[in-house]
Amino acid sequence: MNLDDLIFVSVDDHAIEPPNAFTPHMAAKYKGREPRIVERSGRDVWVFEETASGYMGLNSVVGRPKEEYGMEPLGYAHMRRGTWDVGARVEDMNANGVLGSMCFPTFPGFAGQRLQHYADRGVSLAAIRAYNDWHLHDWCNAAMGRFIPLMIVPWWDAQAAADEVERMAKQGVRALSFSDNPTVHGYPSIHNGHWDPVWKACADNDVVICCHIGTGGNAGHASDESPIDAWIATMPISIANSAADWIWAPMWKKYPNLRMVLSEGGIGWIPYLMERADFTHRHHSAWTMSSFGGQRPSDVFKKHIMTCFIEDEFGLKNLDSINVDNVAWECDYPHSDCTWPKSPEVFWQQASNQKLSDAAIDKITHLNAMRNFGYDPFTRFGRENCTVGALREKAKHVKTEPQLGMGGAAPKRDPNKPVTSGDINRMFASADAAATL
């Protein structure tokens, strides 16, 4: 195998919704109340029920030189077109040698959390359904075979959520984006029977639960004086607390075929979490009354939970402690961590360093994702047309050089000190205040 022979399916990318995403799909009763883009103080802002929210920030800096990552896009003109235009996205995927992609929402929140708190539940549900219809029909189905569709659901009514899972599953959607800790948003915990209709609907329809970092609350900034690098470094590992919570959650016993993904969480820390979970069970279950029916917590993790990574050489070195059948690759386009347009080169270098077998490489880069999400691009395109080499051959016209001066907001910079959490927080607070005027 060589680099051009690789096949990549990313289980974590993001779509920046275009300005008209909701309009064609909003239920007739709520036409005119759909989320929409409004220009305020030089910034493109999503407004829903007169509330402004949903800014892009580091979510959409792909294509800039790294020196300009702090230049936060204020609108669509400041972003690479592939962030929000599906045709341009497919060309950027080709240029990066990426065959398939699962795209999380941006304006609604990665798990739809921004659409959960409006007083009029009817308009909230209409917006959630409109998003799902846009995502499936106007994004995924606009390039058949290139995307793994992903739904969001209402949280306030678990039966309504289960109904939405059923509705979308009938159309071939096999993935649900869900908060890794809904209590942060004022909803029952994953241990509460409130969610049983959702888990059952997922199990009955072979739908995988995808929990993206940040959907259950971001890792807190240590202080306003802390370099922002410290916060960025801990973002993937911030889902570790929730991962442990899911290991001990009750749905696995009730629905033994249920599966989930820790999206954008990395894999290098997983072996220690499983070791610590098993240690905890051995040392404390006699008094905590937790039971795994003769299994270990690590057995539950390995059976039910998939993990994924962008760059993680330590994790690749320890695949035998993770379960290679539950590891997948991600690109994270168009976020600041993504490796576009050199994702194959980055992965190939790390895989070569660890002397991974061809079988392990195929599982990680595409086979595990295809199996878990019922995704079969080979039947549509032929395997020989799905490789890095074949896709890049189609994208020779795509310009991938960093674009200078794309514009946007920027933190204040002092060459004698690092950009801090406080600098970033103040920048966003100022932009948010201007956008709500």
User: What are the extents of the domains in the chain?
Assistant: 3-435
Using 50, 70 and 90 to split pLDDT, how confident is the model at 57? low
Beta bridge partners of 40: 43
Using 50, 70 and 90 to split pLDDT, how confident is the model at 153? very high
Q: What is the pLDDT of residue 144?
A: 98
* CATH fold for domain 3-435: TIM Barrel (3.20.20)
CB atoms closer than 10 angstroms to residue 125: 22
214: nearest Cα among 296, 304, 110, 309 = 110
pLDDT at residue 319 tops 70: yes
Q: Half-sphere exposure of residue 124, counting CA atoms within 13 Å on the CB side?
A: 19
Please answer whether residues 281 and 296 qualify as being in contact, where contact means their C-beta atoms are separated by less than 8 angstroms: yes
- Give the residue with greater pLDDT, 437 vs 414: 414
Query: Which of 2-11, 74-83, 213-222, 310-319 has the lowest average pLDDT?
Result: 213-222
Q: What is the pLDDT of residue 40?
A: 86
115: nearest Cα among 46, 62, 60 = 46
Rg (CA), the chain: 21
Query: Which of 2-16, 40-54, 108-122, 226-240 has the lowest average pLDDT?
Result: 40-54
Using 50, 70 and 90 to split pLDDT, how confident is the model at 71? low
Using 50, 70 and 90 to split pLDDT, how confident is the model at 2? very high
Q: Tokens standing for 324?
A: 């290679």
Give mean pLDDT, residues 241-268.
97
What is the pTM for the complete model shown?
0.96
pLDDT tens figures, 416-425: 899 898 888 8
| Distance, CA of 130 to chain centre | 19
Question: Omega into 344 within 30° of 0, i.e. cis?
Answer: no
Q: What is the pLDDT of residue 355?
A: 97
Q: What is the pLDDT of residue 435?
A: 61
> Can you give the length of the chain in residues?
437
